[in-house]
Structure formats: structure tokens, C-alpha cells
Chain A
Amino acid sequence: MTTLTTRQPPVARPGKRLRASALLERPNFAVYGILIAFILGSAFPFYWSFLVASYDANVFTGDVPLIPGGNFLTNASRVLDAIPFWKALGNSVIVSGTVTLSVVLLSSLAGFAFAKLRFRGSKGLMLFVVATLAVPTQLGVVPLFMAMAEFGWSGTLGAVIAPNLVTAFGVFWMRQYIVDAVPDELIEAARMDGCSMLRTFWHVCLPAVRPAAAMLGVFTFMQSWNDFLWPLIVLNPEDPTIQVALEKLQSGYYVDYSLVLAGTTMATVPVLLVFIVLGRQIVAGIMQGAVKG
């Protein structure tokens, strides 16, 4: 690698930087074609949900017309009447936002330590973290509820937030990413300059791992946003998260899908916003890499 990199690049004269994208392949029509097919497949359920939500209760879910009907706003206002939508949305934003911040920060911190710092027991602890992922979590609701009842937390948002403040998945992910994405030399240089470990983490590591952190943020946010069973069990139904509130739309021996899917569609909007905000961070990561060089 040394031999490769010491050569003088003729394209970029020293001192002048390439635009990051200039290095990437120019996509041709085939690439766009494949990606469009992927996106269509991925987005279909959303469009379909919107379609069903735009008709009245009599629309037959097996045979929805492909053009939206005019009933979406009616269904949306029915949703607002039926469940405490805004309150639930607010609760979900608090829960998912807190959980995401905590997971991203604590995972980066621990991931950095595991990837770049030497300490006794590092390997064993890392293996332990990964191993805990392998235990199925479905049975956890019983002991978790006992714990929350003991703490006196059941019924509070804290009971939904607390069990999700850290994830082994996050630590594993950040560790794997940091191993290669943050060069050792960069850390050493910072240390030589007299940076404390914390400053090194903050000023060297964090900027370099922004894409991975943003990705972890997206995953964590969505996971937390879609969580259903645990909030159902531990929260008071009058003060629910959005998924628990939406479930109430399915009461009755038959389900009014235009109502249910209107609620579902409305509840997806905040997630898409998070997508856009954090998605930019992921893209920004490339530029970061270019500057870092």
C-alpha cells in the first residue's frame, strides 16, 4: 500500500483536492434502472397503504385501484378522533429520540474503546457483548416488567426508554466500523498534541464516524419507533406510544383498513423526517472522508 500511495497522482496535483464524488464511478442507465426497481419494490407498501387509506371502509384490500381516492383527509380526521394521536406521537418522539441519542453516544464511546484502546479484558468483554445478542428477547418481557414494577416505573415513559438506552448491537457496530475508519496514527497524533482521551474521542473519533453513527441512529430510531409489545405492557393506554395507540384502531371483529392504514401512514411521516436529516449526515460522511485524507 505504501508503494501505491507514494506515487504522484497525476489527476490531483499536490495541494489541489478532488471532489469526493469525482472518484466514484459514474453510474450508467443500468445502475439507475436497477436502483429504480429496488426503490419501487421498497416503496410499494407505503404507496399501497396510502391508496387503501384514501378510500372508504368498503375498499377491498385485495383489489385496490392504483389511483388514490379522495378520502384520505376524512380517514385522517377519523384517526385523530379515535386515538390520542398527537400525544402518542409526542411520546414516541421523546422515547425514540432519547433512546437514539443515548445508544449512538454510548455505543460510539464503548466502540472506540474496544476498537482503539488497550485494556485488560477488552477481548473477553467484547465477545460477551456479541454473545448477549444471541439470546432471544421474547421472554424478557416478564422479568423486565417485574423490574420496572419494582422500580416503580411502570406507566412512565422512563420504563420504555430505560431498557433501550444501550444495545449490544450498537457497540458491536461502532467497534467494527472504528477499527478501520479511524486510523491509529490520527489518534496518536492527537495524543502527541496533548489531547486527553476524551478530547481525542470527541475531536478525532466522532467526526470520523459520523456516517456510521448516523446509520446507527436511523436503525435505532426506527426500531424504537416500531416497538409495540413492551410499550403496550408497561405504559398506561391513555398515555401510549404511537404504535400502541395505532393498535386500538384494530378493535372490532373486522378491521377497517382504510382507518388503520391512514393512521399508519400518518405515523410514518416523522420517521421519514429522521431519514432525511440523518441521511444527509451519512452523505456528509463522504465529504468528511475526503477532507480527512
Chain B
Amino acid sequence: MTADLTEVPSGRGVEPRPPVLREPPNGHPKLPWRDRLTRLDVKYTPYAFIAPFFILFALIGLFPLLYTAYVSLFDWELGADEHPFIGLENYATLLADDQFWNAMFNTISIFVLSSVPQMIIAVLLAALLNTALRARTAWRMGVLLPYVASLVALAIIFSNLFGKQYGLINTFLNSVGLSPVDWQGNWFASHVAIATMVNWRWTGYNALIVLAAMQAIPREVHEAALVDGAGAVRRFVSITLPLLRPTIIFVVITSTIGGLQIFTEPKLFDPAGGSGGGFSNQYQTVVLYLYQSGFQDFNLGYASAMAWILFLVVLVIAAGNFFLTRRIASTGENE
């Protein structure tokens, strides 16, 4: 950002302070106490600022993480009297478990089917919402509605849509002479159906995040481009998008993490609401499998190992997406 964008504003913002007294207090001629205070301020305030977060996080958030890491090294049956230590055996078993790899494949397939269209639509939707709409608040909050919808209602609505025998989509396909789709049984169709649910629930949410960042773009940047005669599309591509980079990175990373941990939607998609992920595990995701191992088979050790393997996979994919995004959204300057 250039200096002329940031002249000290009048009105709100930084309050003017009385001139600093430079008179040293009694007996301390070297450094004025204020300067020393300022030094301390600069050096330690950052830690004070992050401390509340990290202390609370260490107390409450870290313990479950460490616990699952610990448990993953044991043959830990939920509620059993003894938990024999087995080292990395859970991990070894897991890597040889076909069901796990099937779940991993399903997870990545649903992730790709949902995240790519979701990102594109979210950015475009944000651009539409960033126009001079009437009743702006209503529109913005409107796209967030799916995020609050009750899961009970969603389960019924989506099974009414994607039902094999009585579903609306298949009824429609039948009426126009197309053959109905087996949304439950066919693995690809089930992934498409679940990705549709995911997109429906999360596109508006991501759009709002992008929108918030769009609004932070200083007015003068747009003004100047407008003066230069740049059209709306050009201004969007060459000004808005590059300036959105930190936010796009945020959205890409959080939706990679969220997408690979997908759980609620495939669980809702099961007609009986179970965590099986289809009769042949055709849409069982990793977290569904993890949940099944932990709370139905009570194999907490195995489920914990799965959590940590998934953690590694998520990190690798998120890092890959991060570098990809940085490259795509980069305008040559460094962050």
C-alpha cells in the first residue's frame, strides 16, 4: 500500500494525544520512562495479544488433540478395562485397510466435485452482492440461510429430491423420457448428490467471506481504475481478485480442511441416517468411517489413528492448494 492512501484520518481512528512530556523523572536521567515503556510495549504486547487465545486453546483445545494422539498408540476399546500398548500397529493396519482407502477415495472425489464449483460460484456471487443493491443486508444474509437450516428438514428435503423410487428428480427424469438415476446405489451419482448438498450449504457462506474482503479494498483503488476507464470485468480481474489474495487463500485452505473432513452431508444422505455411507460404502467418507470405528465398533485407538492420518493428508493437500492459489492469485509482488 502506498503512503498517500493512508494519511491520518480526521474524525474516527487515531485520537490525538497531548504532547509527550520529555522531562525525566527524578534520578533517571538515561531513558525517559515513556520510551522504555514503549519499548516494552513493542516487544511484549504481541505476546500479550496472542496469549488469551493460546492459553485457552492449550487448556481446552490441545488436550483432546494430545489425547487422540496418545490413544492411537493403543489397542483402545471404548470402555474396556485394559488398553494394551501396540505402538504404530493401528497405523499399519489402517494403511492396509481397503475400506479406509475406499473412504479416502470417496472423500477426495466428493471434495473435488464440491469445492471447485463452490469456489467459482462463491467469488461470482460475492461480486454480484458487492453491487449497489437495494436492501443490501437482506440479500447478504439471505445467501447465508442454508447455513442455519435445520438438519432434520434438510434430510427430508434432500431425500425427497434424490429418492430412487419417489424422488422429485427421478420423477422429472421419467416424465421427460430419461431413465432415472440410482442416487443411492451408483457411486458417482451418490457423490454428485452429496456434492450438491455441500454446495447448497456452503456456497453462500464462502461468498460472504469473499464479500467482506472485497469491501476492504480501498475506495481509491476503484476510483482510480474507474477514472482510467477500466470496465467492470477488467477491474474485477485485475484489481479486485489480486487484492483478495489473503482471503482467497483463507477460503481455499479452510474449505480444503472442511471438505476433507466432510461428515454431516453424507450422514444425512443415508436413508436411515446411519454412518455407514451406503450399503457398499459407496459414499462412506473418512470421517464417517472414523466415527463408525470409534462410536459403533468402539475402537477408539483405530479411530484416533485414522484422525491423524487424515490430518497428514489434509495438511499435504492444503499446502498444495496454498501454493497453487498463491501462484494463481499472485500479481508478482510478495505478500
Dominant secondary structure at the A interface: helix
Dominant secondary structure at the B interface: helix
Partner of A215, one of B142, B149, B156, B208: B208
Which residues of chain B are within 8 angstroms of A112 by Cβ–Cβ distance? 49
Partner of B290, one of A27, A119, A139: A139
Does A139 contact B142, Cβ atoms closer than 8 Å? no
Which residues of chain A are within 8 angstroms of B326 by Cβ–Cβ distance? none
Does B61 contact A132, Cβ atoms closer than 8 Å? yes
Assuming A130-B253, A261-B152, is B46 touching A193 (CB within 8 A)? no
User: Which residues between 200 and 238 of chain B lie within 8 Å of chain A, taking CB atoms?
Assistant: 200, 204-205, 208-209, 212-213, 215-228, 232
Q: How far is the CB of B51 from chain A (nearest CB, A)?
A: 9
Which residues of chain B are within 8 angstroms of A203 by Cβ–Cβ distance? 12-15
Of A67-75, A86-94, A141-149, the one contacting chain B is A141-149
User: Which residues between 229 and 263 of chain B lie within 8 Å of chain A, taking CB atoms?
Assistant: 232, 243, 245-247, 249-250, 253-254, 257, 261, 263
Q: How far is B154's CA from A260's CA once the two chains are assembled, in angstroms?
A: 13
Q: How far is the CB of B288 from chain A (nearest CB, A)?
A: 9
The reply on B141 being an interface residue by CB < 8 A is yes
Does A27 contact B224, Cβ atoms closer than 8 Å? no
Partner of B247, one of A38, A45, A177: A177
Assuming A2-B4, A62-B160, A177-B247, is B150 touching A261 (CB within 8 A)? yes
Does A42 contact B12, Cβ atoms closer than 8 Å? no
Assuming A23-B219, A136-B307, is B61 touching A42 (CB within 8 A)? no
User: Which residues between 118 and 177 of chain A lie within 8 Å of chain B, taking CB atoms?
Assistant: 118-119, 122, 125, 130-140, 142-144, 146-147, 162-163, 165-166, 168-169, 171-173, 176-177
Q: How far is B209's CA from A208's CA once the two chains are assembled, in angstroms?
A: 16
Chain B window 1-36, contacts with chain A (Cβ cutoff 8 Å), 1 for yes, 0 for no: 111111011011111110010000000000000000
**A side interface size, CB within 8 A:** 125
Does A211 contact B205, Cβ atoms closer than 8 Å? no
The reply on A77 being an interface residue by CB < 8 A is no
Does A10 contact B227, Cβ atoms closer than 8 Å? yes
The reply on B287 being an interface residue by CB < 8 A is yes
Partner of A290, one of B67, B145, B219: B219
**B side interface size, CB within 8 A:** 116
Q: How far is B45's CA from A288's CA once the two chains are assembled, in angstroms?
A: 27
Chain B window 289-310, contacts with chain A (Cβ cutoff 8 Å), 1 for yes, 0 for no: 0110010000010011001101
Q: How far is the CB of A153 from chain B (nearest CB, A)?
A: 11
The reply on B147 being an interface residue by CB < 8 A is yes
Chain A window 224-258, contacts with chain B (Cβ cutoff 8 Å), 1 for yes, 0 for no: 01100000000000000000000000100000010
Max chain A C-beta neighbours (<10 A), residue from B78, B151, B204, B246: B246
- Nearest A residue to B158 by beta-carbon distance? A45
Q: How far is B261's CA from A49's CA once the two chains are assembled, in angstroms?
A: 28
User: Which residues between 59 and 80 of chain B lie within 8 Å of chain A, taking CB atoms?
Assistant: 60-61, 63-65, 67-68, 78
Chain A window 187-220, contacts with chain B (Cβ cutoff 8 Å), 1 for yes, 0 for no: 0011001111111110110011001100100110
Does B68 contact A140, Cβ atoms closer than 8 Å? yes
Which residues of chain A are within 8 angstroms of B6 by Cβ–Cβ distance? 183-186, 189
Does B140 contact A279, Cβ atoms closer than 8 Å? yes
Which residues of chain B are within 8 angstroms of A211 by Cβ–Cβ distance? 212, 215-216
User: Which residues between 1 and 29 of chain A lie within 8 Å of chain B, taking CB atoms?
Assistant: 1-2, 4-7, 9-12, 18, 20-27
Does A285 contact B2, Cβ atoms closer than 8 Å? no
The reply on B82 being an interface residue by CB < 8 A is no
User: Which residues between 239 and 293 of chain A lie within 8 Å of chain B, taking CB atoms?
Assistant: 250, 257, 260-261, 264, 268, 271-272, 275-276, 279-280, 282-283, 285-286, 289-293
Which residues of chain A are within 8 angstroms of B166 by Cβ–Cβ distance? 62
The reply on B92 being an interface residue by CB < 8 A is no
Q: How far is B300's CA from A143's CA once the two chains are assembled, in angstroms?
A: 11
Minimum-distance CB pairs A-B, first 4: A185-B6, A181-B216, A143-B67, A140-B64
Pairs A–B under 8 Å by Cβ, sample size 22: A5-B4, A10-B227, A18-B223, A23-B219, A31-B128, A106-B52, A130-B253, A134-B311, A134-B318, A163-B61, A166-B60, A172-B253, A180-B1, A180-B213, A183-B1, A184-B6, A197-B41, A197-B49, A215-B209, A215-B212, A280-B137, A285-B212
